[in-house]
Amino acid sequence: MSDPATYRSKEEVEFWKSRDPIPKLKEAIKGDFEIGDEEFEEIDKRVEDAVAKAVAVAEAGEELPPERLCEDLRTLRPWDKDIVVESVTKTHHAVTVEECPPVCGIGAELAANIYELAFDEMDAPVERVSGADVPLPYARNLEQFCIPHAENVAEAARKTLAK
């Protein structure tokens, strides 16, 4: 995985590190609950795995234009609407990705806010990639069938770009 410092200025990297809510969240959780460093290491590993999946998605879409932009919200409540609007303003397209079912999920909330705040910037409808609208099965093979994969995200990106 590439280091953000390789394609952003040092000041910009430091600015975003200062806005990172994760260290504040860790301290708040440690203060309220009996959670140790090993539990946080497990959480960090799961986040790193999710980032690795996102990188795989980006690599699967090699035929997509290089100006694509990926925003990781890091937190769902509160979430930074300004960053999303700025991203939509730059690209004029949006694809939301989540593993939850499509009804009443964060993807629907993001799409609604994008339409409210940046409708005039959009060149195509927001594409939503989400899990299947079924109860999540316990069997691993069926579970994998119900969650979105890199191909689903690449197809949604092609659809919103009309390619």
User: What per-residue confidence (pLDDT) applies to 161?
Assistant: 81
User: What per-residue confidence (pLDDT) applies to 66?
Assistant: 46
- The amino acid sitting at 138 is Y
Rounded to two decimals, the pTM is 0.57
User: What per-residue confidence (pLDDT) applies to 16?
Assistant: 72
| pLDDT digit string (tens) for the chain, length 163 residues | 455 555 567 777 777 777 777 677 777 776 666 667 777 777 777 777 776 776 676 666 555 554 555 666 777 777 778 888 888 888 888 888 888 888 888 888 889 999 999 888 888 899 999 888 888 888 888 888 888 888 888 888 888 887 6
Domain locations in the chain? 66-160
The rounded distance, in Å, linking the Cα atoms of 153 and 115 is 20
How many residues are there in the chain? 163
User: What per-residue confidence (pLDDT) applies to 101?
Assistant: 86
User: What per-residue confidence (pLDDT) applies to 54?
Assistant: 67
CATH no., domain 66-160: 3.40.50.920
The rounded distance, in Å, linking the Cα atoms of 95 and 153 is 8
User: What per-residue confidence (pLDDT) applies to 11?
Assistant: 77
What secondary structure letter does DSSP report for 67? T
- The amino acid sitting at 149 is H
Question: For residue 85, how far is the Cα from the chain centroid?
Answer: 14
User: What per-residue confidence (pLDDT) applies to 69?
Assistant: 58
